[in-house]
Chain A
Amino acid sequence: MSVQLVPDGTISEASEALRDHSVSARELTDACLARIERDGERLNTFLAVDPEAAQHAADEADAALARGEGADRPLLGVPYALKDIFVTRALDFDGSPLPGGLPTTAGSFILEGYLSPFPSAAQARLEEAGAILLGKTNCDEFAMGSSNENSAYGPVRNPWDETTVPGGSSGGSSAAVAGGQAYFALGTDTGGSIRQPASLTGTVGMKPTYGRVSRWGMIAFASSLDQCGPFTRSVRDSALVLGAIAGHDPLDSTSVDVPVPDYVAALTGDVKGLRLGVPREYFVAGMEPGVEAAVRAAIEVLRDLGAEIVDVSLPSTDRGLATYYIIAPAEASANLARFDGVRYGVSAAADELWENYTRTRGAGFGAEVKRRIMLGTYALSAGYYDAYYVKAQQVRTLIKAEFDEVLSSVDALLAPTSPNVAFKLGAKVDDPLAMYLNDACTLPVNIAGLPGISVPCGLSDGLPVGLQVIGRAFDETTILRIADAYERAAGFAELRAPTAHA
């Protein structure tokens, strides 16, 4: 059973071993904690871990498994991590810290030491499913970034090559799963923050349809774009976790009340007869040749499996970046107005209230967050509102309409996830626009609110490349089916970072 105890297997394997009692939840949890102990500080993957709380939850899961409760609870006893943008309950009803409660920072100094009085929907649902929370993962501050270098608590290193970034903004989650520190992790994706880091770390990353998963307790960045989803080591695992977190939540008024299908049952391995569009605009100038080669090869694998590959066009793709960098900062500037040093977080302790607001925010936010607050405030300000904000919302309508039209004649779209593999730490920190280009292939999907998944499709220069599969709204089933069929046929399912093997 030593294979299971090295935590680079899949949830599906772990779950089977838990059910036949060849491994315990406590053993799986201890194996993950040992990895975090060994590599966590060096890779800077976690911002908070409570080993005792995780072990206690594991012992409870083992008791439930011993009672035979595992049958319809596939995540029972499986250790996972949450991006530190999900609040985790850490206060008791009398306001005192709850034993085992984890702080929530959103990767920002302004929330240092914040203890949430309530759990996020994600934490609550996974707790109900019996999964074991290991800790909170590092991320770009308020989820703004593509390299995890914008965290106030330092950058995360990519387990594939520790001189490179793990992608962002959910970089701690991607590196934790790639590095064998957790069986799965949740991230958030506003413009690519799950799919792009999944691509850069050789993991599977799913952004569900806007409205599919509750945003309750997810600290808001851009509320019309944000979604929550899993990082896993297989597509089947992605389907398992999505099944546990999806579904209507009355606490999130943008969560949509539609049935949640059995995602695992949809993984037939069969893509015969599916029409898959390849949008030519996604093979952008400046894309790395090794990335293009790997993605083109992946498309051929799906053709060989019997899918019909169709050349399609999404002409407004190159407007995506500009549209996103108006809408997302505009929404962020409004959402982040709540951080004023009065009710929670740090305070600059100035003598006057006005001064306290500006000093707290000036000292508490990092450079990228300030840049986006400024950009968003500018776009919403008198005289510029129509020229920037309304204009971007109009172009959003066009981008969405193009997707809707193309997806009425094909079942899903195939594209690169990121135009490049993991880049060196520090390579793009001084050039915001170069950093923003990392998300050129992912952010149009958020603009249109569609589901997208990134699945590993080989290596370029020894680093992972991701194939992105984009689907119709609320049709995660089809993109999971395609990604799973590809994963089974392509032979990259066993790809693991050197750190995970060691």
Chain B
Amino acid sequence: MASIDRADVEHVAHLARLHLDDDEVDRMQAQLSNILEAVETLRDVDTSSVGPTASVIELENVMRDDVATAPMPRAVTLANAPLRDDPYLRVPTVLEEGR
């Protein structure tokens, strides 16, 4: 399992919405295989009766008071957008006609 091939790298990059060029895929394949081999050491730890820890503090649902407050002003929300068409965020084509 520790060794991953190019197709695995490309599949994971797709899941992560991350464009990698060919050189990066090669490098990633070698480096991820090495790192995964190193983390394989966890396999021989007996955890059959151990629960998982997601957080070290005892978390209950943390609720704020249900009080309406002023939202962030629209101009502030848009201020950092790389593409905009006031008063909207602009994005490239999502679905083209006929697809």
A residues contacting B by CB (< 8 A) are 91, 93-96, 114-115, 117, 210-211, 224, 250, 253-254, 256, 316, 318-319, 321-323, 325-326, 333, 337, 340-347, 349-359, 361-363, 365, 367, 370-371, 373-375, 377-378, 381, 384, 387-388, 390-398, 400, 432-433, 448-449, 473
Contact = CB atoms under 8 A, between A and B. Distances in A.
Nearest to A448: B56
B72 A378 contact: no
B17 A340 contact: yes
Among A345, A387, A393, max chain B CB count under 10 A is at A393
Interface in B30-52: 31-32, 34-36, 38-43, 45, 47, 50-52
Contacts of A224: 54-56
Interface residues of B, number: 57
A358 B94 contact: no
B80 interface: yes
Interface in B1-54: 1, 4, 8-9, 12-13, 15-21, 24, 27-28, 31-32, 34-36, 38-43, 45, 47, 50-54
Contacts of B68: none
B20 A325 contact: no
Contacts of A398: 45, 47, 50
A337 B79 CA distance: 20
A357 B34 CA distance: 28
A397 B53 contact: yes
B20 A362 contact: yes
15 contacts: A211-B57, A319-B45, A343-B89, A352-B96, A362-B20, A375-B35, A377-B16, A378-B12, A381-B12, A384-B1, A394-B45, A394-B51, A394-B53, A396-B53, A397-B47
Contacts of B24: 367, 370
B18 A95 contact: no
A377 B12 contact: yes
A266 B50 CA distance: 37
B75 A343 contact: no
B92 interface: yes
A6 B38 CA distance: 47
Interface of B: 1, 4, 8-9, 12-13, 15-21, 24, 27-28, 31-32, 34-36, 38-43, 45, 47, 50-57, 59, 62, 64, 72-73, 75-83, 89, 91-94, 96
B73 A347 contact: no
A355 to B, nearest CB: 7
B18 A361 contact: yes
A400 B53 contact: yes
Contacts of B4: 378
B32 A375 contact: yes
B57 A254 contact: yes
Given A95-B78, A433-B38, A357 B17 contact: yes
B17 A94 contact: no
A64 to B, nearest CB: 30
A95 B78 CA distance: 8
A316 B39 CA distance: 14
B93 A394 contact: no
A351 B93 contact: yes
A384 B72 CA distance: 40
Given A93-B76, A365-B18, 6 more contacts: A210-B57, A319-B45, A337-B17, A353-B93, A367-B24, A433-B35
A433 B78 CA distance: 41
Contacts of A341: 82
Contacts of A340: 17
Contact of B82 (A347, A394, A449): A347
Nearest to B9: A374
A381 B10 CA distance: 13
A304 B16 CA distance: 54
Contacts of B81: 342-344
A224 B21 CA distance: 32
A384 B40 CA distance: 12
B3 to A, nearest CB: 12
Nearest to A210: B56
Contact of A353 (B1, B36, B64, B94): B94
B32 A374 contact: yes
A30 to B, nearest CB: 32
B20 to A, nearest CB: 6
A106 to B, nearest CB: 14
A95 B87 CA distance: 12
A398 B46 CA distance: 10
B93 A381 contact: no
Contacts of A343: 77, 80-81, 89
A115 B53 contact: no
Contacts of B55: 224, 254
Contacts of B92: 349-353, 355-356
- 7 tightest A-B CB contacts, nearest first: A362-B19, A449-B56, A95-B75, A393-B52, A344-B80, A347-B82, A253-B62
Nearest to B94: A353
B73 A391 contact: no
Contacts of B39: 322, 325-326, 388, 392
A314 to B, nearest CB: 14
A432 B53 contact: no
A117 B76 contact: yes
Given A373-B18, A374-B9, A395 B45 contact: yes
